[in-house]
Amino acid sequence: MSMPFYVSPEQLMKDRADFARKGIARGRSVIAIQYADGILFVSENPSQALHKVSEIYDRIAFAAVGRYNEFENLRIAGVRLADMRGYAYDRRDVTGRGLANAYAQTLGTIFSSGGEKPYEVEIFVAEVGDTPESDQLYRLTYDGQVADEHGYAVMGGAADVVAGHLAEHYVAGASLADALRVAVAALGHSESEDRVIPAGDLEVAALDRTRSQPRKFLRLREARLTEILGGRGSEQADAPAPEDALAGSGPRHSGQDDPADPTDQVSGATPPLEDPVTGEPPVAPPATPPASEPPVAPPPPQPGQPGAPGQPTAPGTPPPPTEPGQV
Amino acid sequence: MGDSRLPASFMTPGTSSFADFLGVQAPDLLPSRRAVPAGAAGDLAPHGTTIVAATFEGGVVMAGDRRATMGNIIAQRDIQKVFPADEYSVVGIAGTAGLAVEMVRLFQTELEHYEKIEGTTLSMDGKANRLAALIRANLGLAMQGLAVVPLFAGYDLAADQGRIFSYDVTGGRYEETAFHSVGSGSLFARGSLKKLYRDDLDAEGAVTAVIQALYDAADDDSATGGPDITRRIFPVVHVITADGGVHMPDDQVAAIADRILAARMERPDGPAASLT
């Protein structure tokens, strides 16, 4: 007879928040920064196709960090909501605030519903106005909280360090080029070094109120970025991050359990429920561990460290299979 | 709390089409889903009339007259019937004005929606096919007299040329070469363009040719409006090249129209083509 464990609501919410925060912290940062003619988004993203910053509507843009499939889902929902509202009413009736509210309700509901995994995302919703004072920048977290940001905002992995650098160097009302330089320097800044991010690895987009078309969103391509940023010293690409989808990298068969990789086929210290070939349950472990070796609790998995050494096998459990399919 | 999140259809992946999404989420917003009582309804609403388009070296122009009629009444003398569909294409509409303007809005949203969701624009043929699907969905209303017949033109970046597509009420899509016209005055406009069109026209030459054609259409068709010189109302003209589409400013159109009018003071039937 088994009794369900009691988990306090505080603990439950804390666990879910920790889970979401861990997922977000694995990604690289995105900066939204206000400049004289609008709002600029800068992120380090080696992929040319999988965007973190996108257009939602005439004056509204969307930026996100975290799990790609989840924020892509939110982005498409936002485009549909905005286009439907603009079609049913008028283009001017689509507002960033309305969109931010819809996202907040959605994220909040998913976070607090027991049956769903919380979204591991954080998003910016920005709307450019006719004057810098009427620009709006909302930051939404995984649990549906909305913050109204001014000047600049950072989300993602090293958000604190990047925001610290921006706090020192941000100037209100800067030109596009100046704002871009400050943001790129902040993204390359870490406690140990100041890295020059290659222009080809930057994803930069802006909501520019001076654009003559009704659609104010534009992407700044590599050629334009090189022109603005100019000579910055030798460029240094970032080390591969878990969020980079490397071509051809399927599930890893390292023989070791990597807690950060849900696609690995090894379960580390956890014995398989049954023999994968015969379907027989495994031989029951000895009732008492050998006296010479006291049981050692495995160290907690280190998040954000792909390829961390496998956990030591707890005594009394069968060794993990070295290769899937081998018994 | 569960009611406040975005409905599941917003989060469902799959379609990049705004019209398809609207059909699931809010079908009453689609122009073709309106229930109309049985019987002819064609005389209820204003009709838009003549649209002409012509290609030239490096682009395409489209022009529409400004008249909407209800039977023998002129319902509006400055209606706009030519609209940009996206940056590189333009759509002009003849038929029931109210439905047509709504369909153009749906088509514009459709193209922009695809562009935002997919991160790339539809091909020229893809755009033409989407418009055909919207027209086909309107067949029920068309059979009750509320037909919408568009003319679609744009610059095909892949083929580096201007292209023109015409449609019938069943959604049939036909690519036209050189020039085409739809609407009540289209027979006269096409006849006029036959004599005026040449392969070596430049943008201004093509604009002049389509305004001449609209003049000829207005000359013989009571539902097509000619240049209104007292109110200074002139055709709406869009020119699309590899740099994108522009709505030609009214003063430029007026200058060309004034030249044409001055020439027609001498010869009311317009320029004479050589016999051989």
Q: Which residue of A has its CA nearest to B17?
A: A80
Asked if B5 reaches chain A (Cβ–Cβ under 8 Å), the answer is yes
- Collapsing DSSP to helix, strand or coil, B272 comes out as coil
Q: How confident is the model at residue B165 (pLDDT cuts 50, 70, 90)?
A: very high
Distance between CA A234 and CA B211 in Å, rounded? 59
DSSP state, residue A131: S
**What residues of chain A lie within 8 A of the CB of B11, using their CB?**
73-74, 76-77, 106
pLDDT in tens, B10-47: 888 888 999 999 988 888 888 877 777 777 777 778 88
Contact B21 A76 (CB under 8 A): no
pLDDT value at A126 more than 90: yes
Q: How confident is the model at residue A24 (pLDDT cuts 50, 70, 90)?
A: confident
pLDDT in tens, B170-211: 989 999 999 999 999 999 999 999 999 999 999 999 999 999
Contact B5 A106 (CB under 8 A): yes
- How confident is the model at residue B141, as a pLDDT? 85
Angle at B265 between CA B263 and CA B271, to 5 degrees: 40
B10: nearest CB among A51, A77, A88: A77
| From A50-54, A272-276, A306-310, the region with the lowest mean pLDDT | A306-310
Contact B116 A81 (CB under 8 A): no
Give the residue from A314, A321, A311 showing the smallest Cα distance to A285: A314
pLDDT in tens, B56-97: 999 999 999 999 998 888 999 999 999 999 999 999 999 998
pLDDT value at A289 more than 90: no
Distance between CA A58 and CA A79 in Å, rounded? 11
Give the residue from B13, B32, B247, B274 showing the smallest Cα distance to B133: B32
pLDDT value at A224 more than 80: yes
- How confident is the model at residue A312, as a pLDDT? 46
**What residues of chain A lie within 8 A of the CB of B249, using their CB?**
none
Strand order in the sheet with B236-241: B179-182, B51-56, B59-64, B236-241, B244-247
Place of tokens 């003049």: B215
Q: What is the mean pLDDT of residues A39-62?
A: 92
pLDDT in tens, B213-226: 999 999 999 999 98
| From A2-16, A237-251, A277-291, B32-46, the region with the lowest mean pLDDT | A277-291
Identify the residue with better confidence: A3 or B273. Answer: B273
Residues contacting residue A162 through CB under 8 Å, at least 6 positions apart: A29, A31, A154, A186, A187, A189
pLDDT in tens, B122-131: 999 999 999 9
pLDDT value at A267 more than 90: no
Q: What is the mean pLDDT of residues A226-247?
A: 74
Q: What pTM value is reported for the model? A: 0.82
Contact B29 A105 (CB under 8 A): no
B6: nearest CB among A56, A88, A102: A102
Q: Which two tokens stand for residue A297?
A: 């609790």
pLDDT value at A59 more than 90: yes
Distance between CA A258 and CA A26 in Å, rounded? 14
Q: CA A126 → CA A32, A58, A152, A208, A213, distances in Å?
A: 9, 11, 11, 12, 18
pLDDT value at A281 more than 80: no
